[in-house]
């Protein structure tokens, strides 16, 4: 019986790819704080779910940098210190999720490329063509993280595997999922997907999301 169970688990593991830890349940409480479930969200992505293969994945750091970088998934996960934090994501559609995020600090990634002095904007690109941008200072001064786990499990494909930006203090449309590229730019007027459709460029939670 045990053997059958074990082999079924292995087969399932193979089928799903080892990224999605079957054996681990998501955490619903962290240090006394109740968390939402990672399944509590509405699918409203611009092109639906994206399924990124861990083996082919590359995170590129490009633009106004002295040396560009290409990291594999494992390089990102294993080369940098990881941080954990409970943060709530608020979508402009009126729903929210409070989750435990775990990821690396974007600063640590930027340290590897040596940003040019004239870079003032960071544009994040995703596999579905979605983009969003921030002043360099926002990312650096707030120690913004790029998450690869939520509620103690690997971020599932539907929620942005391999990485989602934890854009604290910003509306959900700044929390880019399925991130593939971080571009340093001097274009302070760059506008991302929703920002070029009338949503505020800074996306600050304490202000209206319309401009």
Ligand X SMILES: Nc1nc2c(c(=O)[nH]1)N[C@H]1C(S)=C(S)[C@@H](COP(=O)(O)O)O[C@H]1N2
Residue choice 27, 86, 87, 91 for contact with Mo ion (CB under 5 A): 91
DSSP code per residue over 55-77: TT--EEEEESBSS-EEE-HHHHH
- The residue of the chain with the least Cβ separation from ligand X equals 172
Helices (H), ranges, the chain: 2-16, 73-79, 106-110, 136-141
Considering only residues 57 through 96, tell me which ones interact with ligand X, judged by CB under 6 A: 89, 91
Residue choice 160, 172, 192, 203 for contact with Mo ion (CB under 5 A): 172
CA distance 88 to 153: 17
Instruction: Name which of 109 and 126 has its Cβ closer to ligand X.
Output: 126
Instruction: Name which of 162 and 172 has its Cβ closer to ligand X.
Output: 172
Residue choice 178, 183, 191, 200 for contact with ligand X (CB under 6 A): 178
Residue choice 176, 190, 200, 203 for contact with ligand X (CB under 6 A): 176
- Residues near 132 by Cβ (< 8 Å), separated by ≥ 6? 123, 124, 165, 167, 173, 174, 176, 192, 193, 194, 195, 203
Q: For residue 115, what are the β-bridge partners? A: 65
Considering only residues 103 through 132, tell me which ones interact with ligand X, judged by CB under 6 A: 126, 128, 130
CB of residue 34 vs ligand X: minimum separation in angstroms?
A: 17
Query: Which among 5-13, 64-72, 74-82, 171-179 is the span making contact with ligand X, rule CB under 6 A?
Result: 171-179
CA distance 203 to 211: 10
Residue choice 175, 180, 184, 190 for contact with ligand X (CB under 6 A): 175
Residue choice 13, 17, 27, 41 for contact with ligand X (CB under 6 A): 41
Dihedral sign of CA atoms 46, 58, 110, 90 in order: positive
Residues near Mo ion (CB under 5 A): 91, 172-173
Residues near ligand X (CB under 6 A): 41, 44-46, 89, 91, 97, 126, 128, 130, 159-160, 164, 172-173, 175-178
């Amino acid at each position: 019986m045990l053997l059958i169970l074990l082999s079924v688990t292995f087969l399932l593991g193979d089928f799903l790819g080892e990224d999605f830890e079957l054996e681990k349940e998501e955490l619903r409480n962290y240090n006394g704080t109740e968390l939402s479930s990672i399944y509590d969200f509405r699918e409203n992505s611009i092109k639906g779910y994206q399924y990124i293969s861990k083996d082919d994945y590359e995170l590129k750091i490009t633009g106004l940098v002295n040396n560009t970088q290409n990291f594999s998934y494992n390089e990102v996960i294993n080369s940098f210190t990881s941080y954990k934090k409970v943060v709530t994501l608020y979508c402009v559609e009126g729903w929210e999720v409070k989750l435990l995020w775990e990821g690396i600090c974007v600063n640590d990634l930027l340290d590897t490329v040596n940003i040019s002095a004239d870079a003032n904007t960071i544009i994040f690109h995703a596999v579905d063509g979605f983009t969003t941008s921030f002043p360099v200072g926002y990312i650096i001064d707030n120690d913004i993280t790029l998450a690869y786990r939520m509620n103690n499990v690997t971020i599932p494909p539907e929620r942005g595997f391999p990485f989602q930006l934890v854009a604290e203090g910003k509306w959900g449309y700044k929390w880019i999922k399925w991130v593939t590229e971080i571009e340093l730019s001097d274009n302070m007027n760059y506008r991302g997907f929703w920002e070029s459709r009338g949503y505020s460029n800074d996306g600050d939670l304490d202000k209206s999301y319309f401009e």
